[in-house]
Structure 1
Amino acid sequence: METNLDSVRLSGPINPGYRPSPRGPVLGRIGSLDVRLAANRKEVDAAQALRYQVFVEEMGATLPADAMRARRDFDAVDSYCDHLLVLDTARDGDPEDQIVGTYRLLTQSSAECHSGFYSQSEFDVGALVARNPDKRFLELGRSCVLPEYRTRRTIELLWQGNWAYCLANGIDVMFGCASFPGDRPYAHALALSFIHQVAAADADWSVRAVAGRGLDMDMMPSEAIQARAALAMMPPLVKGYLRVGAMTSTEAVVDPAFRTTDILVILPVKRIAERYVNHYGADAGRFAA
């Protein structure tokens, strides 16, 4: 179905040539939940409203004044990304009323044609990309889910969508910021030190924070680190990245606007644990609609 994109609204700045992908096939389905890309500006607007609800109303982020007035989390990067959506088709209303989860997907080619990656404001991802000229990178960001949908099914569908998108676009490496709540990094000393110990990226994949913003994650001696306690202190998204085989930066960065402590996660596709590839299918067919 062709959509008149000029007749619907997308909050915030938008490139004149911006065209979200037309509503394509459902990338995955579990029960009444579907995962697919946003098809029009109304759906992107709804995803931004969901992000506002989670990041501002729930987590206390402070956005620019125009975003706060619009009650939407938006920025210029939105205009050249794809927006992955989880929809509960059992909910009443139009598709934009059914959105319960979202992820923002930014390919290297799109970033290079526009203003770059979002995470470059915190980490030197340009150096990482430059060291791997034969690889295609995908930035994952703005992951959020409504509280009542923070279940295994929803998370599985978000990963199903990411995996299907990677295969369709020939992606070699996924990366992006993963956040700990709060702007006091030492409150997360145990978890950050454990991550540094078990998942720090090697020289080929190492990433430094932007000059003057980084804080060494190696905060505690190894003998003081208890793995079970460290894992219990991690946000589910961070634990999920580690389980699938991701590496991380060795520095954390405080994001004062979102009131978070961020690390950079790097996940080469070839490093994804075999059990997860088998779970979703090498062709992303496990949860295909």
Structure 2
Amino acid sequence: MQPILRGRYRARLAQDDNDLRSAQRLRWLCFHGRNGVPDDGQALDSDGMDAECRHMLVEDVATGALVCCFRFLPLADGSQIARSYSAQFYDLRALEGFDGPMVEIGRFCTHPDHHDPDIVRIAWAAMTRFVEESGIEMLFGCSSFIGCEPETHAEAFVMLKERHLAPRRWWPRVKAPRVFRFARAFRLRKPDARRAMAAMPPLLRSYLAMGGWVSDHAVVDPALRTMHVFTGLEIRTIPPARRRLLHALAERPA
């Protein structure tokens, strides 16, 4: 896949171990450093999935600084779902029946000192190009909320329960030992749309705008101090106007 250039940013695939270490360093800053873990300047966030995945980097062209990264795992179809990171935390047997190419997106993060919305836009453009070139029919992964207190995320959870639960045929079931069943806990509560969307993580907000859906429960991760929901997006359900926008971004060459 060729790099994509948008304004001051370039998205490209990692090429070597140095690129991978740069991504792992940014991930550490985003997922561990925010929790006050002591930093010697060399700490990395890494796991066994890194060797199985491809890694996308978004860099500031002028400085070469890495401002965003994510990894992705292509699967031939749902029969390979057990290989995914998400399958460690969710019972995804319903998705074994999905008969098209899939890709799991994980460890998506942006540098804590960079807030330009074009960063997320070019990251999505890069994934869009991969999806189109590879014939992918479903994106999936875990979308994280920072903090393990359910009430902190209540408005967002209520909105997810009300409007964005997974189709029954793909329903992710409980597997992790510690979960919060928000659809059950907030079954009688109605969402405040403005407050709910303000409380929604940016990546999840993007998924939902494209027609994405989520599990009915959140997995609690005390080590990273997050709660995450399984998130899926069938490519054919993306609204035409948004597909055209993503396609236009993905077509811009470096």
Note whether the superposition's TM-score is higher than 0.5: yes
RMSD: 2.7
Is residue 2:69 matched to residue 1:102? yes
TM-score (norm 2): 0.90
SS in 2 for 1:148: coil
The residue aligned with 1:205 is 170
Deviation at 1:273, TM superposition (A): 1.9
Alignment check: 8 A CA contact 2:81 2:96 kept: no
Is residue 2:7 matched to residue 1:25? no
Deviation at 1:221, TM superposition (A): 4.8
Deviation at 1:80, TM superposition (A): 1.1
Alignment check: 8 A CA contact 1:77 1:115 kept: no
Whole-Å separation in 2 of the counterparts to 1:145 and 1:69 = 18
Question: In 2 relative to 1, CA 109–45 (structure 1 residues): closer, same or farther, beyond 3 Å?
Answer: farther
Query: How many residue pairs are counted as aligned between the two chains?
Result: 253
Residue type at the aligned position of 1:101: C
Alignment check: 8 A CA contact 1:102 1:145 kept: yes
- Larger Rg belongs to: 1
Q: What are structure 1's unaligned runs of at least 5 residues?
A: 1-23, 92-96
Whole-Å separation in 2 of the counterparts to 1:281 and 1:179 = 26
Alignment check: 8 A CA contact 1:61 1:257 kept: no
The residue aligned with 1:145 is 110
What is the CA deviation profile of residues 119-145 of structure 1, one whole-angstrom value per residue up to 9, with x for unaligned ones? Answer: 1121122x133121x121110010111
Alignment check: 8 A CA contact 1:185 1:254 kept: no
Is residue 2:225 matched to residue 1:253? no
* Residues 121-160 of structure 1: pairs in structure 2 closer than 5 A: 121-125=88-92, 127-132=93-98, 134-160=99-125
What is the CA deviation profile of residues 232-279 of structure 1, one whole-angstrom value per residue up to 9, with x for unaligned ones? Answer: 212222212111110111111101221101101100111112221110
- Extract structure 1 runs of 4+ deviating beyond 6 A: 110-115
SS in 1 for 2:173: coil
Is residue 2:47 matched to residue 1:75? yes
What is the CA deviation profile of residues 122-175 of structure 1, one whole-angstrom value per residue up to 9, with x for unaligned ones? Answer: 1122x133121x121110010111123222110110000111111122211000
SS in 2 for 1:204: helix
Q: Which residue of 22, 26, 35 maps to 1:50?
A: 26
SS in 2 for 1:167: helix
Question: In 2 relative to 1, CA 223–58 (structure 1 residues): closer, same or farther, beyond 3 Å?
Answer: closer
TM-score (norm 1): 0.80
Whole-Å separation in 1 of the counterparts to 2:6 and 2:135 = 25
Deviation at 1:202, TM superposition (A): 1.4
The percentage of counterpart residues that share the same residue type is 29
Residue type at the aligned position of 2:21: D
Q: What are structure 2's unaligned runs of at least 5 residues?
A: none
